[in-house]
A = this chain, B = another copy of it.
Amino acid sequence: MASQGFWPFGAEDGGDNSNQNPSAPRAWCQAAQKFTGGLGSKLCALLSVGEGEKTGSPARKQQEAGVESCGCNKPCGCYKSNIDFSVLYSTDLLPASEGEVATLSFLQEVVDILLPYIVQTFDRSTKVIDFRYPNELLQENNWELSDNPETLEDILLNCRTSLKYAIKTGHPRYFNQLSTGLDMVGLAADWLTSTANTNMFTYEIAPVFVLLEHVTLKKMREIIGWPDGKGDGIFSPGGSISNMYAMLVARYKMFPEVKEKGMSAVPRLIAFTSEHSHFSIKKGAAALGIGTDSVVLVKVDERGKMIPSDLERRIIEAKQKGYVPFFVSATAGTTVYGAFDPLIAIADVCRKYKIWMHVDGAWGGSLIMSRKHRWKLNGIDRANSVTWNPHKMMSVPLQCSALLIREEGLMQKCNQMHACYLFQQDKHYDLSYDTGDKALQCGRHVDIFKLWLMWRAKGTIGFEAQIDKCLELSEYLYNKIKNREGYEMIFDGKPQHTNVCFWYIPPSLRYVEDKDERMKRLHKVAPVIKARMMEYGTTMVSYQPQGDKVNFFRMVISNPAASFEDIDFLIEEIERLGQDL
């Protein structure tokens, strides 16, 4: 099975000249001859009879596995590369001596598994997920790790099986998370990143990627509106870590002695964020030794936006208690409602009380790329730090999260430990490109190349078009359901982001008058519909309760593959799956 690839390897002869066998061999010859530096002849030699006779070599194994003469007319006399993976092991791949052919065939075979998956991802006639319960997945397959190796045929089978049960996160009807979509240029960039397999801590071992991070962070700061794009920043493993970094740097800015002395040397610090903000602010405070009790949750209005007067009131309260307000995290695009906190008013409060202003734009920050929607972020240029996750609304493959900081050099001072085995001061190049000591991470994955390459491929206007389209779709959904029978909106008014929050009220519930009874039953509706969606595999959308509101659907759209038709489908599907509840 493994040798029946999707691409030419092992393909059956579909041509009119059956003795020529047009599949792999000639492609191999041509391929080999395109290599520079003597590799071409080396590959040809590896494929030739003479070389193949060495006992135990992969070429020999291929002969034993019954490979045929390719009939190729090139002078190199190539063998057919119709490799039998059932007799090969990972030890036959590079760096094994003469492992080139097996390696290229194996990797191509993997690509031949991935390409159809990618095409199917966008095919609305395929399922979003072929759902199995954990015990089913465990029982139906053998996932165990053992002492002995598997053949490459088994490895390819493992790849197929893993994809069979995967969620198609790029499917046009997958609306489950803030990160959806599968961008082809981003994917290509990620494949290249894996192949380059390096680490962002020094210029020495990631020269191009470090420069691209430099260029991209500057561009992002320019877009935020900081003068000349000056400032600092880093790509971190996700928005939660970016938010924690911001809190860490804000604390250091106010009390640099905390780095050596710890929290016991400083007064009680208080952070402020809205009651609808992301849980990472509390997680960060717990980790940093600030404690969740010192995170004050500021009230929001009915649309989920922080109320600046309540922020001010709570700051004054904290100060009266002798505490030190040090950090305000405004949210640009809350997780559930998609609300944008009023940044200008918040900036005024922060200036008045000299508090670090952070903007958590993990979800909504990308709207700054849109001329139509960037007004929602007015005031962001006054922030001291910004979290902005291109892996959400810009569809960059996971993960890609930037933390941007207005003051240059602060991150470095806050986090550096001068490890002299890594950040030697007597290197022969400009050390300002060794950015690793800015982060808490030592090794750091290359998350920049996918964003940079997508930006080159789309231009800023391409991202803008994607974002505008998703917002247009959410407005379409809102208009479609706001007055539709069986729907109730969680809050009134056009969505500011792509979040559309609503209850679906099944027919049996529409005329229940007892409010408690209604709420109790309504709470159970979304989980059942969601479970059915997953079992049918037709679509996926998230739900949750919030505050005193029982379970409701939170629809979000960040996938450029989604269309009006998919929104229509979602509504039909909710009604189909929920009508009997």
Please give the distance in Å from A291's CB to the nearest CB on chain B. Answer: 3
**Chain A window 171-183, contacts with chain B (Cβ cutoff 8 Å), 1 for yes, 0 for no:** 0100011010011
A479 interface residue per 8 A CB criterion = no
Residues of B within 8 Å of A16, CB to CB, are: 20, 73
Report copies per complex. Answer: 2
Q: Does A512 touch B at the CB level, under 8 Å?
A: no
Q: How many Å from the CB of A510 to the closest CB on chain B?
A: 22
> A293-B260, A399-B445, A429-B134 are contacts. A119–B39 as well, Cβ < 8 Å?
yes
Give every chain B residue within 8 A of A211 (Cβ-Cβ).
Answer: 134, 137-138, 143
Partner of A457, one of B149, B460, B527: B149
Query: Which of B198, B417, B444 is in CB contact (< 8 Å) with A167?
Result: B198
Pairwise interchain contact B264-A263, C-beta atoms closer than 8 A:
yes
Beta-carbon contacts under 8 Å, A440-466 to B: 440-446, 449, 452-462
Tell me whether B31 and A7 are in contact (CB under 8 A).
Answer: yes
The answer to the question of A316 belonging to the interface, with a C-beta cut-off of 8 Å to chain B, is no
Give CA–CA (A100, B259) in the complex, Å.
54
What are the residues of chain B within 8 A of A391 when measuring CB–CB?
A: 443
Q: Is A234 an interface residue (CB 8 A)?
A: no
With A16-B73, A146-B460, A191-B110 known as contacts, the answer to whether A262 contacts B240 (CB < 8 A) is no
Residue on B nearest A268 in the bound complex, by CB:
B264
Beta-carbon contact of B440 and A35 below 8 Å: no
Interface band, chain A = 35 or more
**Minimum Cβ distance to chain B for residue A315 (Å):** 18
Interface hits, A30-55 → B, CB 8 Å? 30-31, 34-35, 37-39, 43
* A399–B445 alpha-carbon span in the complex (Å): 6
Chain B contacts for A265, CB-based, 8 A: 291
Which of the residues B37, B429, B452, B551 comes within 8 Å of A426, measured between beta carbons? B551
The interface bits of chain A over 279-315 (1 if a CB of B lies within 8 angstroms of the residue's CB, else 0) are 1101111111111111000000000000000000000
Indicate if the CB atoms of B560 and A456 lie closer than 8 Å: no
A67 within 8 A of B: no
Within 8 A of B (CB), among A243-284: 244, 248, 258-265, 268, 278-280, 282-284
Q: Which of B440, B530, B543 contacts A283 (CB 8 A)?
A: B440
Q: A113–B107 Cα gap in the complex (Å)?
A: 13
* Interface pair B184/A93, CB less than 8 Å apart: yes
Tell whether A65 is near chain B: CB-to-CB under 8 Å. no
Is the beta-carbon distance between A420 and B26 smaller than 8 angstroms?
A: no
Cβ of A483 under 8 Å from chain B: no
Q: Which of A142-191 contact B (CB under 8 A)?
A: 143-150, 152, 154-155, 158-159, 161-163, 165-167, 169-170, 172, 176-177, 179, 182-185, 187-191
Select the residue from A149, A179, A262, A288 with max chain B CB neighbours within 10 A.
A262
A318 contacts which chain B residues (CB < 8 A)?
none
Q: Which of A201-209, A344-352, A375-383, A485-493 contacts B (4 or more CB under 8 A)?
A: A201-209
| A69 proximity list for chain B (CB < 8 A) | none
**Bound CA–CA A199/B178 (angstroms):** 11
> Would you give the shortest CB distance from A206 to chain B, in whole angstroms?
7
Whether A135 is near chain B, meaning CB under 8 Å from some CB there, is yes
Residue pair B133, A239 in contact (C-beta under 8 Å): no
Distance from A83 Cβ to chain B, minimum over Cβ atoms (Å): 14
Contact between chains at B177 and A199 (CB < 8 Å): yes
Question: Nearest chain B CB to A403's CB is how many angstroms away?
Answer: 14
A288 contact from B188, B289, B561, Cβ within 8 A: B289
* A509 CA / B290 CA spacing, docked (Å): 54
Interface residues of A in 192-217 (CB under 8 A from B): 192, 194-199, 203-209, 211-212, 215-216
Q: Does A473 contact B (CB under 8 A)?
A: no
B206 touches A162 (CB 8 A): no
Query: Interface code A524-542, partner B: CB below 8 Å = 1, 0 otherwise?
Result: 1001001100100000101
A105 to chain B: closest CB distance in Å? 10
Q: Give CA–CA (A401, B457) in the complex, Å.
A: 33
Are B147 and A240 closer than 8 Å at their CB atoms?
A: no
Q: Are A241 and B196 in contact (CB under 8 A)?
A: no
| Contact assessment for B125 and A115 in the assembled complex, using a CB-CB cutoff below 8 Å | no
Quick one: which of A117, A238, A239 has the most chain B CB within 10 A? Answer: A238
Beta-carbon contacts under 8 Å, A78-103 to B: 89-91, 93-95, 99-100, 103
Select A290's contact among B248, B289, B561, beta carbons within 8 Å. Answer: B289
Q: Decide yes or no: A433 and B144 within 8 Å by CB, A22-B20, A35-B116, A279-B442 being known contacts.
A: no
A581 at the interface (CB under 8 A from B): no
Contacts of A459 in B (CB 8 A): 146-150
Instruction: Contact check, B428 vs A531: say whether CB atoms are below 8 A apart.
Output: yes
Q: Are A166 and B208 in contact (CB under 8 A)?
A: yes
Complex A-B: 13 CB contacts under 8 Å: A14-B73, A103-B119, A143-B452, A145-B452, A147-B460, A149-B462, A150-B456, A159-B189, A167-B205, A244-B440, A258-B291, A287-B415, A428-B527
Further contacts, 12 of them, CB under 8 A, given A110-B188, A239-B443, A399-B444: A14-B26, A37-B125, A39-B116, A90-B183, A114-B191, A167-B205, A179-B199, A258-B291, A261-B291, A424-B543, A426-B524, A428-B527
